[in-house]
Amino acid sequence: MRHTLSKLLGPISAVLVILTIWLGLFVTPPDVDQGELVRLVYIHPALAVEALYASVGMAALCSALYLWPRTRSMRMDRLAASAIEVGVVFNILTLVTGSIWGRPTWGVWWTWDARLTSTALLLVLSLGYLALRRVPAEPHVRARRCAIAAIVAAVNVPIIHFSVVWWQTLHQGCTAICPGLTYKIHGSMGWTLLLSFVAFTTCFAWMVVSRYRIDVLRDSGHDGALDDALEARRSEGVPS
Amino acid sequence: MLRDALLVAGRDLRIEARSKVALWQVVPFSVLAMILFTFALGPNPAALTVSAPGFFWIALLFASILATQRSLSIEGSQATRESTRLLGLDPAGVFLGKVGALVAELVVIETILVGGTVLLYHVAFRNWLLLVASCALAAIGLASASVLYGSLAGGDRVRSTLLPILVLPVVAPVLIAGSRAFVAAIGSSGDGGRWVAVLAVFAIVYSVLGIVLYGPMEEI
């Protein structure tokens, strides 16, 4: 079932991402103010949404479910770890595409803006989470430690989200859906932007499912190796 | 819970008073950091005074990492943890006790560092109340976040390298708000109250997180 999901999500996300790139590069018009630079808007916000909300949200939810005794399962731990790991990739891409946009717009590759800084901090927190996962420990001990770390890291997300509201920053405010469900972007540009969110969400889901499968296979490989070793050891004691 | 907290804090502080690790290792380290910052900038009194808030808080953050590692090494072995559990102590009380002891140590380090900024960086404070409030709240926030993450970081061997990676990004708001409050205490700006409020929110959030999560963590 999961393998089928992974097989389906891969091609779907590839088609959607290619479609987004084609619409963003060749169909949508340049912006009145930003010119061709606006085309980054079809990648950057969608990447940021996956890095900040999908990744950390999913990790925090799965971690909370792991800590809750009734829903405790290693599946939750693996899902949280997969979400954070894929989130790191999206976070790096968010920072890179943001820098590419910032250089011609703000005149610098990096500025100490509140949202940029808090996003970079989230990246470091995620790397800390991944480092914590590599600390040798019993699987359930590691899972519990990492679940707590993920929940504590999630505290950073509201700070990032509201940073452009709380502080005077260079980073622009909402682009697509603003308070009161008003839109600031229309026509083919608006549809392409919405498609980019769907495309990168599908891509994120595919990567998480694939990462999860790798974890399952690796763990089952360990279990199998242990069983094989035990069987071999037992057979040594059996007189032939 | 408070009784357990006092018990654990008393134990930690007694061990510290006997071993004097904070006095002979952590405090000299923080003073050394302040002196090294001076070497980096050169003997320029104006530049040192401007940079003093940042230097003070960075020296404190680094010292807090050392103090946390020392504090958690007391609970380091599995046998010690199991003994604490067998005593039936409330995990929230254990957390608060460790935080309390660490806050006491950090306040001592802060006092020495404030003296260092006056002597070495020629800083003159105008609003002592603001400085005391920001230092006290920062100590509570730093201690809560450090104990929480330090307990996550596992054994002594791993903790020494993992703890800074886990804690320093989390305590960045303390560095920002503390530096701004420090600047306001010198008299260079007038919005110190807002930054003290940020420090208070940080201290409350991480204290509550620690009280709630320390129990599940120690079930390990």
- Contact yes or no for B213 and A148 at CB 8 A: yes
Nearest by CB to residue B169, choosing from A121, A144, A151, is A121
Rounded to the nearest angstrom, the minimum Cα separation between A179 and chain B is: 26
Nearest by CB to residue A144, choosing from B158, B166, B216, is B216
**A141 in contact with B at a CB cutoff of 8 Å?**
yes
Q: Which of B78, B81, B148, B152 to mutate to test the interface with A (most CBs of A within 10 A)?
A: B152
Nearest chain A residue to B213 by CA distance is A148
What single string gives the DSSP state of each residue in A120-171? Answer: HHHHHHHHHHHHHHTS---HHHHHHHHHHHHHHHHTHHHHHHHHHHHS--SS
Six-digit token string for A188: 């083919």
The confidence score (pLDDT) of residue B106 equals: 93
The confidence score (pLDDT) of residue A177 equals: 58
**A185 in contact with B at a CB cutoff of 8 Å?**
no
Cα–Cα distance for residue pair B98/B151, rounded to 1 Å: 11
Percent of chain A that is helix, strand, coil (3-state, to 5)? 80, 0, 20
Cα–Cα distance for residue pair B212/B95, rounded to 1 Å: 10
Q: A50 near A90, Cβ under 8 Å? A: yes
How is residue A219 annotated by DSSP? H
- Contact yes or no for B166 and A149 at CB 8 A: yes
**A96 in contact with B at a CB cutoff of 8 Å?**
no
Side-chain half-sphere of A169: how many Cα atoms within 13 Å? 20
Dihedral-angle region of residue A50 (phi above 0 means left; psi in -120 to 50 means alpha; beta otherwise): alpha
Rounded to the nearest angstrom, the minimum Cα separation between B117 and chain A is: 26
Tell which residue, A108, A129, A110, has the closest CA to residue A120: A110
Q: Which amino acid would we find at residue B130?
A: L
- Contact yes or no for A145 and B158 at CB 8 A: no
Q: A196 near A20, Cβ under 8 Å? A: yes
When computed from its CA atoms, the radius of gyration of chain A, rounded to whole angstroms, is 22
Please list the residues that pair with A183 across neighbouring strands.
A177
The confidence score (pLDDT) of residue A51 equals: 86
Rounded to the nearest angstrom, the minimum Cα separation between B207 and chain A is: 12
**A130 in contact with B at a CB cutoff of 8 Å?**
no
Cα–Cα distance for residue pair B6/A19, rounded to 1 Å: 63
- Contact yes or no for A141 and B220 at CB 8 A: yes
What is the 3 state secondary structure string of chain B? CHHHHHHHHHHHHHHHHHHCHHHHHHHHHHHHHHHHHHHHHCCCHHHHHHHHHHHHHHHHHHHHHHHHHHHHHHCCCHHHHHHHHHCCCCHHHHHHHHHHHHHHHHHHHHHHHHHHHHHHHCCCCCCHHHHHHHHHHHHHHHHHHHHHHHHHCCCHHHHHHHHHHHHHHHCHHHHHHHHHHHHHHHCCCCCHHHHHHHHHHHHHHHHHHHHHHHHHHHCC
Q: Which residues of B152-186 are buried (b: 16+ CB within 10 A; e: fewer)?
A: bbbbeebbeebbbbbbbbbbbbbbbbbbbbbbbbb
Q: B109 near B26, Cβ under 8 Å? A: yes
- Contact yes or no for B154 and A137 at CB 8 A: yes
Nearest by CB to residue A135, choosing from B154, B169, B170, is B154
Q: What is the ipTM of this complex?
A: 0.78
Where chain B has pLDDT below 50, the residues are none
Rounded to the nearest angstrom, the minimum Cα separation between B119 and chain A is: 31
- Contact yes or no for B220 and A145 at CB 8 A: yes
Q: Which residues of chain B are at the A interface, by a Cβ-Cβ cutoff of 8 Å?
A: 148-149, 152-154, 158, 162, 165-166, 169-170, 172-173, 205, 209, 213, 216-217, 219-220
Six-digit token string for A197: 């969110």
Give the pTM: 0.81
Side-chain half-sphere of B159: how many Cα atoms within 13 Å? 24
Which residues 30-89 on chain A approach chain B with CB closer than 8 angstroms?
A: 67
Q: Which helix (H) or strand (E) holds A55?
A: helix A55-67
Total number of residues shown for chain A: 240
**A128 in contact with B at a CB cutoff of 8 Å?**
yes
- Contact yes or no for B213 and A152 at CB 8 A: yes
Task: Please list the pLDDT of chain A residue by residue as tens digits (240 residues).
Answer: 556 777 888 899 999 999 999 998 888 888 777 777 888 888 999 999 888 889 999 999 999 999 888 888 899 999 999 999 999 999 999 999 999 988 888 888 888 877 788 888 889 989 999 998 888 888 888 898 899 889 888 876 776 666 555 666 666 666 665 666 566 676 778 888 889 999 999 999 999 999 999 888 887 776 666 667 777 777 776 655
Cα–Cα distance for residue pair A91/A115, rounded to 1 Å: 13
Six-digit token string for A52: 């900040």
**A225 in contact with B at a CB cutoff of 8 Å?**
no
Which residue is listed with tokens 């000299």? B28
A180: three-class secondary structure by DSSP = coil
Please list the residues that pair with A178 across neighbouring strands.
A182
Nearest chain A residue to B208 by CA distance is A152
Q: Which of A135, A141, A146 to mutate to test the interface with B (most CBs of B within 10 A)?
A: A135
The 10s digit of each residue's pLDDT in B72-101 is 887 766 667 677 777 777 888 888 999 999
Q: Which residues of A touch B209 (CB under 8 A)?
A: 152, 155
- Contact yes or no for B217 and A152 at CB 8 A: no
Cα–Cα distance for residue pair B183/B174, rounded to 1 Å: 14
Rounded to the nearest angstrom, the minimum Cα separation between B115 and chain A is: 31
Q: A231 Cβ partners below 8 Å, 6+ apart?
A: none
Cα–Cα distance for residue pair A41/B58, rounded to 1 Å: 37
Total number of residues shown for chain B: 220
